[in-house]
Amino acid sequence: MAAGEVGLQAIRYSRGRLQLLDQRKLPLETIYIDVYDSSGGWHAIQDMVVRGAPAIAIAAALSLAVEAVNLETKPTSLDEALHFLHTRLDHLVTSRPTAVNLLDAATKLKNKTSDAALRTSNAAEILVVYVDAAEAMLAADIASNKAIGDYGADLISGQSKRDGKLSVLTHCNTGSLATAAYGTALGVIRSLNLQGKLNTVYCTETRPFNQGSRLTAYELVYEKIPAVLIADSAAAALQSSGKIDAVVVGADRIASNGDTANKIGTYNLALAAFHHGIPFYVAAPLTSIDTALSSGDSIVIEERSSKELTHSHAGHGPQVAASGISVWNPAFDITPAKLITAIITDKGIITKPEGSLVFDILGFLNAHVVSNISNGDLNCRQEESGSDHDEKFYILNSATIIQYIKKHSSLASKLGSPESDWKVQEVGDGNLNFVYIVEGTAASFVLKQAVPYVRCVGESWPMTPDRAYFEAITLKKHGALCPQHVPEIYHFDRTMSAIVMQYLEPPHIILRKGFIKGIYYPCLAEHMSEYMARTLFFTSLLAISTTTHRSAVAEFCGNVQLCRLTEQVIFTEPYMESSNNRWTSPQLDEDVRALRDDEILKVEVAGLKAK
């Protein structure tokens, strides 16, 4: 085999069949275990048959895909299909809670199937959508790892002070056995080797489960990459010898400031590298980043069996420690961002702002991921695409809306024939989005489209149109909880950022306009209370599991720009001099002065903002 070729497979998959390489048996035996359902996937992850954050996520997703394909009794309704998939995904997440890739994959798959439920009433189609999405994750992981490898190799070789080939130290196993293929940190090393820039890779044994000596060494020997195995306790001495040009490790979870959870012992390596002035790199896909966490202090650290320390062979051999000794065996540790030189991702390199000890990961995501959505390249969230057609985003208008509706037979049939009688009226009531009322002979509906900027301002205020996705899933979920007060969703197209929903015909009008006209609404408080009680309660920890709640929080943290906009225009700018206030001046100048002079209101707003 040529150096760098990927010959090892931790995951063997074909539709309806999944086999996982039992990594507990390596390097002496190569045995694949058949996984027939999500329960088997859960146990394979928990028992470390499969390990490595990316591989765990893919194995979990595919175990449920196999179960869905081979179901003898299929769900007969959308609710049954979604319940079947989502409850199993929630259970799979509990198998390895520290690995954020698993939670991220489960969230994306739930979003994908929920998206599909907006467009179909066929339960069998939901299962197909899930299986297709899980298989797409397998292919995407391989492409992601290769991108990480290339970015990392260029970075390390470009920043090295040494002429000639480089020597790199790594920890745990982050190669083909920890991912779908190729690897993250070991993928960087593999790319360095392919480019002819690698002298030697040093790998730690990685006690107590010995992933380095059992797995990484196995991969390196298998692929004929020049390598040296060292004891964990020799790492600092090796770095002091001057032989190491860089340290590169993987990650199980990365907080939004760059604090990184990885295999126990990573922190030790980072401290030693910092002391000896050696660059310390973390290599991981964007799916390893948990934007819901501001720092590593909130990362849950899994503790494993005491037998891994008291017995040989990672807990499976004879006892080697004194009976009665207490054991502390954390599986991971947290490396502070200040010790990390850069984070290598599948979308590029994340570095720290000048003079900062931490990373601005949200800024990187906005610049490198969110901006792609605004530019029409929606593939950065490819697992969640909601379009029924292979079309690119374009801004709809009164003329193109008719053509758009014709492409979607469910919408056309709702309006009725003939098409010549269809009427489109731009309402213009939205500050953020374009809103149209479409009338037909049989029915009418509202079409709302989010465009890559704030509608009432224009292109000078860019904003991702992905906000439509969050609005659509919220309306769908809230509609199920409180249908009497939420308009029905007929259609959602993620590529076009378009929502088609129920039109409440006159005498219904927009509430804001009713208030301006002085209309009295005797049931308003009752209806709002009913809506808020049902939607807030049934989406809170009082009604749902911690895993489901955490997944929902992680999902909606993706709506970063709209959250920032709300904070900006509601809680900040009205109370200060701001360039954006030009949109309300001079017509609201007197009201603004009244707001700024209202000390009680300022205190109340400050209290809300603090929450």
Show which residues are catalytic.
252
- 144 CA to centre of own chain: 14
Question: One-letter amino acid identity for 298?
Answer: S
- Of 221, 129, 94, the residue nearest 545 (C-alpha): 94
Do you know the residue count of the chain?
A: 611
Q: How far apart are the first and last CA of the chain?
A: 58
Nearest-angstrom CA–CA distance, 176 and 184 = 9
Q: Are 405 and 415 in contact (CB under 8 A)?
A: yes
**Contact of 275 with 237, CB cutoff 8 Å:** no
Closest of 248, 228, 220 to residue 8, by C-alpha: 220
> Is the separation of the CB atoms in 188 and 194 below 8 Å?
no
Whether the Cβ atoms of residue 281 and residue 245 lie closer than 8 Å to each other: no
Burial (CB count <10 Å: 0-12, 13-18, 19+), residue 470: middle
Tell me the three state secondary structure of residue 467. Answer: helix
Which amino acid is it at 210? N
φ/ψ (deg, to 5) at 392: -90, 165
CA distance 173 to 447: 50
Output the six-digit token pair for 126: 């939901």
Q: Considering only CA atoms, which of 168, 157, 226 is closest in space to residue 195?
A: 157
Q: Which of 105, 94, 544 is nearest to 302 (CA)?
A: 94
Q: Where do we find the tokens 């390390």?
A: 156
For residue 453, the cross-strand partners are: 462
Yes or no: say if 348 and 338 are a contact pair by the CB < 8 Å rule. Answer: no
Strands 342-345 and 17-21: unpaired
The CA radius of gyration of the chain, in Å to the nearest whole number, is 27
**Is residue 281 within 8 Å of residue 341, measured between CB atoms?**
yes
